[in-house]
């Protein structure tokens, strides 16, 4: 696993992918920091939370070639014909992508140092936001890795990852549409009371809000560490890593 991790991590700096991702992250984080710092108001917690919204673009860029590029070149056969464990392949590539986001996070560390040097406050909410940041990274990278396992085209893998992450980020909006559709259907099929329709509508919205990881980071601005949110992200990250493993396992059997 360590050999795969090292190979994949260094490959980011042998191609434009790593530099483009780091440059884009640096620009976004720098812009957010300068805008707030220029107004004599620097909120690192807010910066971290706002950066999580840009993962819809950053994650597909970082993860699109993890497995798709090997499939395109035919080098993925090595994974299926050698004694290497597929779990090592999945974890190695996963941790390599996560490692790149760790490198990106150095920008935020610099902003923390500058904020502290100018008398700013680095409180518990900042460290809570850092934990949430990496929890979201683990979740989204696992989605991107899974997307990369289902196609030999990096463009297709990036689009699939983009769509998955976009759906996750739009879950409250989707919940509102589904709620409206269900209540409209109930009104057509029967004659329920307004209280019943409102109850059904709210329950549907609550389900989608519960599924939305971004809704779970709102408490970070208050310095509240929500262990359930972290466990939620890690659970779904494990789920997508398992799906990736199953995709490789299926390919191994078809190879034989």
Phi-psi region of 84 (alpha: psi -120 to 50; beta: other; left: phi over 0): beta
Longest dimension (CA), the chain: 65
Sign of CA dihedral 101, 103, 104, 109: positive
Angstrom distance (rounded) from CA 230 to CA 138 = 10
- 139-185 pLDDT tens trace: 999 999 999 999 888 999 999 999 999 988 888 788 888 888 888 88
Predicted confidence at residue 255, as pLDDT, reads 58
Predicted confidence at residue 38, as pLDDT, reads 66
Do residues 68 and 152 lie in contact, with contact meaning Cβ atoms separated by under 8 Å? yes
Do residues 76 and 67 lie in contact, with contact meaning Cβ atoms separated by under 8 Å? yes
Read off the tokens for 230. Answer: 């972290």
Task: Report phi then psi at 241, rounded to 5.
Answer: -65, -40
Residue identified by tokens 């290497």 is 84
Query: Residue 108: how many CB atoms within 10 A of its CB?
Result: 21
Q: How far apart are the first and last CA of the chain?
A: 23
Angstrom distance (rounded) from CA 65 to CA 254 = 22
Q: Is 169 exposed, middle or buried (0-12, 13-18, 19+ CB in 10 A)?
A: middle
Predicted confidence at residue 217, as pLDDT, reads 62
pTM for the model stands at 0.87
**What dihedral do alpha carbons 233, 235, 236, 238 form, nearest 10°?**
120
Q: Where are the alpha helices (DSSP H) in 105-152?
A: 106-117, 124-149
E strands, 44-126, are none
Residues of the chain scoring pLDDT < 70:
38-42, 214-226, 254-256
E strands, the chain, are none
Predicted confidence at residue 26, as pLDDT, reads 92
């Amino acid at each position: 696993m360590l050999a795969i991790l090292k190979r994949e991590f260094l490959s980011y700096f042998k191609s434009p992918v790593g530099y483009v991702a780091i440059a884009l992250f640096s620009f976004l984080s720098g812009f957010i920091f300068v805008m707030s710092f220029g107004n004599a108001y620097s909120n690192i917690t807010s910066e971290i939370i706002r950066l999580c919204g840009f993962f819809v673009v950053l994650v597909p860029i970082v993860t699109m070639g993890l497995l798709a590029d090997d499939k395109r070149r035919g080098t993925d056969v090595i994974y299926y014909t050698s004694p290497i464990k597929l779990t090592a392949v999945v974890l190695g590539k996963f941790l390599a992508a996560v490692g790149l986001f760790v490198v990106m996070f150095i920008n935020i560390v610099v902003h923390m140092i500058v904020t502290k040097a100018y008398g700013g406050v680095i409180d518990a909410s900042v460290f809570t936001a850092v934990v949430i940041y990496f929890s979201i990274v683990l979740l989204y990278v696992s989605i991107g890795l899974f997307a990369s396992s289902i196609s030999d085209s990096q463009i297709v893998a990036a689009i699939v990852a983009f769509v998955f992450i976009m759906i996750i980020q739009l879950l409250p909006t989707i919940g509102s549409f589904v709620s409206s559709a269900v209540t409209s259907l109930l009104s057509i099929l029967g004659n329920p009371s307004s209280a019943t329709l409102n109850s059904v509508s709210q329950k549907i919205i609550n389900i989608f809000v519960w599924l939305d990881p971004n809704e779970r980071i709102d408490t970070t601005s208050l310095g509240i560490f929500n262990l359930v949110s972290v466990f939620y992200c890690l659970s779904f990250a494990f789920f997508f890593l398992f799906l990736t493993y199953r995709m490789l396992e299926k390919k191994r059997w078809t190879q034989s």
